[in-house]
């Protein structure tokens, strides 16, 4: 039946809001993906252009040593910032690749673990300056007459400041896979490749993101050391914010120091917005829980990529490549074999032969190393470094105690509150990423004015570079607590000291151990730049192994550098074996969720 004019007007008025909403929805569906596609495409092309341009700018003739100066004009800082950020990104990608392979292998293969974990302890104990003094000559020989050698050495130095923390995170996460998931993997006979990408990496995703964030923050701390290189009495400077800041510090130029600090803050905030906040929001899908969390982290950049159709194209290509790899990696074996299977007679023979060869190589290498570092002095050559390392060890213990008491409670509160995490993440990221040695001119001025000995002040400087490992790992551990467990504690009205003792601290204990190990390593590494600081004509030196290695590196005394690195490594490995290994076992046996 036809409607009258009045009825038609009423229907039109009633349907108008519906049509408006529908039209707005259609426009959003048509326009948003297109705009997102354009934005993502432009961003990708700009990144590719920047990568090519920066790579070309690095392939220039190498200036003579001690003459490699960079411009002190603040107008060049944007270019220097891009050069520094380019090095950081390359080192970060290499660090993740190394961590995934090394950490997974060490966790899944008990025989490999016996060699790889001590090797990781030793590697993280070697300071950045130690790697630089050993590798710079080799990289310069690899790219003769080109600045690419210095670029490679700088990237490798940044890699050594990042990789160990991420690797420890992957190792700890792979060791703490829940029994249910491990049994499921064996029941479905997943190939080693599928288990790695479908179980171990997703289980470690949240920790890998937060530890990658922390590793990059720690690498910023050594930016000046990796861009203003002094080895064997020769100094090289490559364009970057770190080299610009170091030159300003040497000249006592407060204005340029302020410009460097401003540039660093802008860079750190930009990296947090473009890279880390999207990754934190993306990694939430790997949370292992039976109920959804109340409020999830959000990111405008991640939302833009999800609206765009470009990632879907690459995603389909990635899935096809993954299917091809699944079909062609069956030779790696499946996960059906029960853990702890007895070793065959042939396996025991091969194990004995392998360990015999490794043991013989270690004995021969240690004898050659002992002869080189002692230089005919005998065991007395170790007395001074051991005494200095003992003083640094006391500072490291002080850093760990202070960091634990201050940041574990704060990290738990941040991790359990998504709103607090969203607010605190950029603030903490800036504080953790900011190179503490940029502030050394202010610190030196205060210490000199107040007559504070660097023997005590070095603890505060080491805190600036090491405390964040504990905070970030605690936050990651708290965020990984299943929501159903949090709700159970709330339903049972568990609070106060009992909540901390029976729920919060045990839940983050495994993550805290990982943070403690890397914080200790970071404190030892930070001692290199914390026990010997300068600003203009003022030079403060603390008694410690860090100052010993720094002075030996500046003077080109390779024997003393190696001697100091050996003693520091022995201290770190001994402490890790005696204390942290027991903490790992306790976390794995008693506090694994």
pLDDT in tens, 244-263: 888 887 777 888 888 888 88
Least trusted range by pLDDT, from 15-19, 332-336, 425-429 = 15-19
In this model, does residue 332 exceed pLDDT 60?
A: no
Which pair of structure tokens corresponds to residue 262?
A: 């401003």
In this model, does residue 40 exceed pLDDT 70?
A: no
Least trusted range by pLDDT, from 228-242, 302-316, 317-331, 454-468 = 317-331
* Bridge partner residues of 575 (DSSP): none
Phi, psi angle pair for 279, to nearest 5°: -70, -40
Confidence category of residue 391, pLDDT binned at 50, 70, 90: very high
pLDDT value at position 146?
76
Q: Cα(160)–Cα(158) distance, rounded to whole angstroms?
A: 5
Question: Would you tell me how many other CB atoms lie within 10 Å of the CB of residue 360?
Answer: 10
pLDDT value at position 494?
78
**The residue to which tokens 């890998």 are assigned:** 208
Tell me the pLDDT of the chain averaged across its residues.
77
Q: Output DSSP code: residue 537.
A: T
The most confident of the ranges 6-20, 37-51, 111-125, 505-519 is 505-519
In DSSP notation, 48-103 reads HHHHHHHHHHH-SBPPPTT-------GGGHHHHHHHHHHHHHHHHHHHHHHHHHHH
pLDDT value at position 405?
93
**The residue to which tokens 């200095």 are assigned:** 388
Q: Are 455 and 462 in contact (CB under 8 A)?
A: no
Least trusted range by pLDDT, from 81-85, 385-389, 432-436, 503-507 = 432-436
Q: Is 145 exposed, middle or buried (0-12, 13-18, 19+ CB in 10 A)?
A: exposed
In this model, does residue 6 exceed pLDDT 60?
A: no
Q: Are 434 and 268 in contact (CB under 8 A)?
A: yes
> 532-535 and 234-237: which strand pairing?
unpaired
Q: Cα(257)–Cα(560) distance, rounded to whole angstroms?
A: 32
pLDDT value at position 536?
61
More confident call, 419 vs 316: 419
End-to-end Cα spacing for the chain: 67
Which pair of structure tokens corresponds to residue 399?
A: 């850093």
Q: Cα(298)–Cα(282) distance, rounded to whole angstroms?
A: 9
Phi, psi angle pair for 228, to nearest 5°: -120, 90
* Bridge partner residues of 236 (DSSP): 229
Confidence category of residue 312, pLDDT binned at 50, 70, 90: low
**Any idea where the domains of the chain sit in the sequence?**
20-58, 76-286+296-341+377-590, 342-371
Q: Cα(62)–Cα(68) distance, rounded to whole angstroms?
A: 8
More confident call, 500 vs 10: 500
Listed in sequence order, the DSSP H helices in 239-382 are: 241-251, 254-271, 277-283, 300-307, 310-328, 345-374
pLDDT value at position 97?
92
Which pair of structure tokens corresponds to residue 95?
A: 């660090």
* Bridge partner residues of 541 (DSSP): 532
- Which residues have a Cβ under 8 Å from the Cβ of 241 and sit 6 or more positions away? 77, 80, 81, 84, 223, 227, 260, 263, 264, 267
Least trusted range by pLDDT, from 20-29, 408-417, 422-431, 517-526 = 20-29
Long-range contacts of 436-439 (CB under 8 A, 24+ apart): 436/221, 436/461, 436/464, 436/465, 436/526, 436/530, 437/221, 437/224, 437/245, 437/249, 437/529, 437/533, 438/224, 438/245, 438/257, 438/260, 438/261, 438/264, 439/464
Chain centroid to CA 36 = 30
- The CA-CA-CA angle for residues 139, 141, 144, to 5°, reads 110
In this model, does residue 392 exceed pLDDT 90?
A: yes
In this model, does residue 178 exceed pLDDT 80?
A: no
Q: Cα(92)–Cα(98) distance, rounded to whole angstroms?
A: 10
Find the helix packing angle between 418-433 and 254-271, rounded to 10°. Answer: 140
Q: Is the dihedral of CA 239, 240, 241, 245 positive or negative?
A: negative
Rg value, the chain, Cα: 27
Confidence category of residue 1, pLDDT binned at 50, 70, 90: very low
> 228-231 and 234-237: which strand pairing?
antiparallel
State mean pLDDT over 565-577.
85
Question: Would you tell me how many other CB atoms lie within 10 Å of the CB of residue 243?
Answer: 26
Q: Is 194 left (phi over 0), alpha (psi -120 to 50) or beta?
A: alpha
Which pair of structure tokens corresponds to residue 150?
A: 């210095």
Q: Cα(531)–Cα(540) distance, rounded to whole angstroms?
A: 8
Q: Cα(447)–Cα(450) distance, rounded to whole angstroms?
A: 5
Chain centroid to CA 131 = 17
**The residue to which tokens 């990658």 are assigned:** 212
Give the alpha-carbon dihedral of 226, 227, 233, 234, to 10 degrees: 140
pLDDT value at position 33?
64
pTM check: above 0.85 = no
CATH class of segment(s) 76-286+296-341+377-590 = mainly alpha
In this model, does residue 575 exceed pLDDT 50?
A: yes
What proportion of the chain, given as a percentage, has pLDDT over 90?
Answer: 6
pLDDT value at position 21?
47
Confidence category of residue 22, pLDDT binned at 50, 70, 90: very low
């Amino acid at each position: 039946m036809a409607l009258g004019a009045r009825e038609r007007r009423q229907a039109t008025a009633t349907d108008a809001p519906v049509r408006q909403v529908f039209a707005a929805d259609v426009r959003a569906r048509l326009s948003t993906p297109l705009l997102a596609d354009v934005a993502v495409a432009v961003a990708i092309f700009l990144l590719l252009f920047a990568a090519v341009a920066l790579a070309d700018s690095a392939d220039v003739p190498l200036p003579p040593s001690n003459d490699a100066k960079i411009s002190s004009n603040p107008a060049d800082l944007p270019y220097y910032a891009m050069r520094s950020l380019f090095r950081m990104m390359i080192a970060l990608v290499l660090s993740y690749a190394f961590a995934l392979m090394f950490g997974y292998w060490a966790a899944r293969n008990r025989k490999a673990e016996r060699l790889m974990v001590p090797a990781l302890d030793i590697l993280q104990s070697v300071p950045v300056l130690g790697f630089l003094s050993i590798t710079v000559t080799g990289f310069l020989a690899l790219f003769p007459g080109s600045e690419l050698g210095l670029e490679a050495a700088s990237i490798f130095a940044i890699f050594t400041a990042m990789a160990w923390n991420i690797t420890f995170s992957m190792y700890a996460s792979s060791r703490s896979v829940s029994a249910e998931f491990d049994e499921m993997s064996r029941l479905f006979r997943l190939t080693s490749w599928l288990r790695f990408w479908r179980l171990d990496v997703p289980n470690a995703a949240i920790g890998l993101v937060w530890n990658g964030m922390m590793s990059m923050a720690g690498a910023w701390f050594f930016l000046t050391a990796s861009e203003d290189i002094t080895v064997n009495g020769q100094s090289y400077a490559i364009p970057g914010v770190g080299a610009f800041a170091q030159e300003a510090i040497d000249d006592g130029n407060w204005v340029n120091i302020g410009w460097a600090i401003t540039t660093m803050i802008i860079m750190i905030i930009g990296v947090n917005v473009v890279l880390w906040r999207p990754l934190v929001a993306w990694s939430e899908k790997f949370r292992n829980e039976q109920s959804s969390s109340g409020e999830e982290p959000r990111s405008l950049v991640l939302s833009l990529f999800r609206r765009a159709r470009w990632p879907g194209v690459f995603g389909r290509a990635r899935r096809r490549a993954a299917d091809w790899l699944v079909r062609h990696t069956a030779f790696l074996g499946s996960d059906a074999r029960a853990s702890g299977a007895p070793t065959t007679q042939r396996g025991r023979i091969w194990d004995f032969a392998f360990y015999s060869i490794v043991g013989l190589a270690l004995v021969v290498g240690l004898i050659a190393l002992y002869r080189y570092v002692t230089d005919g002095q005998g065991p007395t050559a170790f007395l001074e470094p051991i005494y200095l390392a003992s003083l640094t060890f006391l500072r490291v213990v002080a850093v760990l105690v202070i960091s634990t008491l201050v940041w574990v409670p704060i990290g738990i509160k941040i991790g359990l509150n998504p709103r607090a995490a969203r607010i605190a993440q950029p603030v903490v990221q800036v504080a953790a990423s900011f190179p503490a040695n940029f502030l050394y001119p202010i610190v030196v001025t205060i210490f000199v004015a107040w007559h504070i000995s660097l023997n005590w002040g070095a603890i505060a400087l080491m805190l600036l570079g090491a405390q964040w490992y504990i905070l970030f790992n605690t936050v990651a551990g708290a965020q990984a607590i299943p929501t159903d467990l949090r709700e159970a504690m709330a339903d049972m009205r568990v609070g106060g000291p009992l909540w901390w003792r029976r729920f919060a601290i045990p839940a983050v204990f495994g993550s805290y151990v990982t943070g403690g190990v890397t914080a200790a390593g970071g404190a030892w590494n930070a001692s290199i730049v914390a026990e010997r600081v300068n600003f203009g004509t003022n030079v403060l030196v603390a008694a410690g192994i860090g100052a010993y290695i720094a002075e030996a590196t500046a003077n080109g005394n390779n024997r003393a550098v190696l001697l100091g690195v050996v003693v520091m490594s022995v201290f770190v490995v001994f402490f890790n074996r005696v204390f942290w290994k027991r903490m790992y076992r306790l976390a794995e046996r008693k506090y694994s969720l």
